[in-house]
């Protein structure tokens, strides 16, 4: 067990309390973060290579550089909490009940894929793990996420902690009108909704300074009356502790909150974007050397005498082999049969007898709820 300083990794808006300025982590926890994030990194690099060899077609938005966000959030959440995100969703799908093989098979458009080869890069989904997918329309996931927050409040008895619902979106989506409308509803109804902006500095190819009227580019303040927290999205421990704080705030009935994760993507916006026409190679290299989320965890492990460089190199080598084997296995999956095109479009049985029955019908006030036997 070691103690880590988090001073300066948070900023708050309209809040009387804040996330902690230090935290503890065990060797087991740090090693798990390292393995998870390195697997994400190798999976996304594999996607890059497979796209260039034309095994993956269509849209493909990679997450490498942002791995600490998904990893830290997942550790702060339980499986009862809901999560919906943008089209940059491969790694969230992986950590929310997926596998490298299933993710890659989906990207190849094959039967054993995450959604049986029908969704592709932008449309992963796993209801069992309360992961409600990646969305192809900029910002469209946020109102759906607020709907998930409404459902979580609706199903929770009065006075109990509610599961939260996180809607993740990029800085390029932050000024979408639907986000403002959804935030207003969430505030009026005090929903356990987390509006999480993964600010990777560039909305497609446009820098933050050029696409927001907010002079400081502070997305955690954009809820105005709604409170906000800014978190260092390259530090998995800051993300974990920040999101534990945020979750407790929302789950306790205080209403929604805005979260800004400052992060950086190493690839361009998508595979069709080289990512070097609006930023320099030196900028990307400087971020890799100074702020890389995986290197941060490696440093934590080495400096606290939990693992040495050679041990971590061996783990990296093992993970590279595992991802390579998963890619090979994914390619062996069959092509989806024709009938898969119309599976899950219509209900197989729409009879009243098989319809789901709600435990109660809730009006806006708990006291007006009708409890069913």
Instruction: Give the DSSP per-residue string, 154-183.
Output: HHSPTTSPPPPEEEEEEGGGTT-HHHHHHH
Rounded CA separation 148/129 (Å): 13
CA distances from 334 to 105, 109, 116, 340 (A): 10, 9, 10, 12
Q: Which residue has the tokens 């789950």?
A: 251
Strands (E), 82-239: 82-85, 131-134, 165-170, 193-199, 202-203, 206-207, 228-232
Domains parsed from the chain with CATH numbers: 2-371 (3.40.50.970)
The answer to whether 117 and 110 have CB atoms below 8 angstroms apart is yes
Model pLDDT, residue 339: 81
Model pLDDT, residue 350: 57
What is the chain's Cα-based Rg?
21
Model pLDDT, residue 120: 92
Condensed to tens digits (0 to 9), the pLDDT of residues 84-139 reads 999 999 999 999 999 999 999 999 999 999 989 988 999 999 999 999 999 999 99
DSSP reduced 3-state for 203: strand
Nearest partner of 25 among 233, 301, 310, judged by Cα = 301
Model pLDDT, residue 220: 83
Nearest partner of 81 among 254, 248, 239, judged by Cα = 248
Backbone angles phi, psi at 262, to 5 degrees: -80, 120
Six token digits for residue 372: 């069913």
Model pLDDT, residue 372: 44
Six token digits for residue 214: 């907010």
What sign for the dihedral angle of Cα 361, 145, 255, 97?
positive
* Largest pairwise CA distance in the chain: 65
Rounded CA separation 340/338 (Å): 5
Rounded CA separation 33/98 (Å): 16
Rounded CA separation 124/87 (Å): 9
Model pLDDT, residue 205: 78
Q: Residues 302-326, buried b or exposed e (16+ Cβ, 10 A)? A: eeeebbeeeebeeebeebbebbeeb
Model pLDDT, residue 270: 93
Model pLDDT, residue 202: 81
Model pLDDT, residue 352: 55
Q: What is the mean pLDDT of each run of 10 residues along the chain (373 residues)?
A: 97 97 98 98 98 95 97 98 97 97 97 92 94 93 97 92 97 91 95 96 77 71 89 98 98 97 94 90 94 98 98 98 98 91 65 55 58 45
Angle between helical axes of 67-76 and 236-249 (0-180°, round to 10): 40
Nearest partner of 331 among 134, 118, 52, 117, judged by Cα = 117
């Amino acid at each position: 067990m070691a103690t880590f300083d988090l001073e300066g990794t948070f900023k708050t808006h309209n809040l009387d309390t804040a996330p902690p300025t230090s935290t503890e982590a065990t060797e087991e926890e740090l090693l798990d973060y390292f393995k998870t994030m390195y697997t994400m990194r190798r999976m996304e690099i594999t996607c890059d290579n497979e796209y260039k060899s034309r095994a993956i077609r269509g849209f493909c938005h990679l997450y490498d550089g942002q791995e600490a966000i998904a990893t830290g959030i997942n550790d702060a959440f339980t499986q009862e909490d809901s999560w919906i995100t943008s089209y940059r969703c491969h790694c969230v799908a992986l950590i929310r009940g997926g596998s490298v093989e299933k993710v890659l098979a989906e990207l190849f458009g094959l039967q054993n894929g995450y959604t049986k080869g029908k969704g592709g890069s932008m449309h992963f989904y796993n209801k069992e793990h309360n992961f409600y997918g990646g969305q192809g329309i900029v910002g469209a996931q946020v109102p759906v996420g607020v709907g998930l927050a409404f459902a979580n409040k609706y199903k929770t008895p009065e006075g109990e902690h509610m599961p939260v619902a996180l809607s993740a979106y990029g800085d390029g989506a932050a000024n979408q009108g639907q986000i403002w409308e959804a935030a207003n509803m969430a505030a009026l109804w005090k929903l356990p909704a987390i509006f999480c902006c993964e600010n990777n500095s560039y909305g497609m190819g446009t820098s933050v300074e050029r696409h927001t009227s907010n002079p400081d580019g502070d997305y955690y303040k954009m809820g105005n009356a709604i409170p906000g927290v800014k978190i260092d999205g390259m530090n998995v421990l800051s993300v974990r502790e920040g999101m534990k704080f945020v979750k407790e705030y929302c789950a306790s009935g205080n209403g929604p909150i805005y979260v800004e994760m400052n992060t950086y993507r190493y690839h361009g916006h998508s595979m069709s974007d080289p990512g070097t026409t609006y930023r320099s190679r030196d900028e990307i290299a400087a971020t890799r050397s100074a702020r890389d989320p995986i290197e941060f965890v490696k440093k934590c492990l080495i400096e606290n005498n939990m693992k040495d460089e050679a041990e971590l190199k061996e783990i990296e080598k093992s993970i590279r082999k595992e991802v390579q084997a998963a890619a090979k296995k994914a390619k062996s999956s069959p092509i989806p049969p024709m009938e898969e095109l119309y599976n899950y479009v219509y209900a197989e049985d729409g009879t009243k007898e098989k319809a789901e029955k709600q435990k109660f019908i809730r009006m806006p006030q708990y006291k007006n709820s009708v409890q069913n036997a």
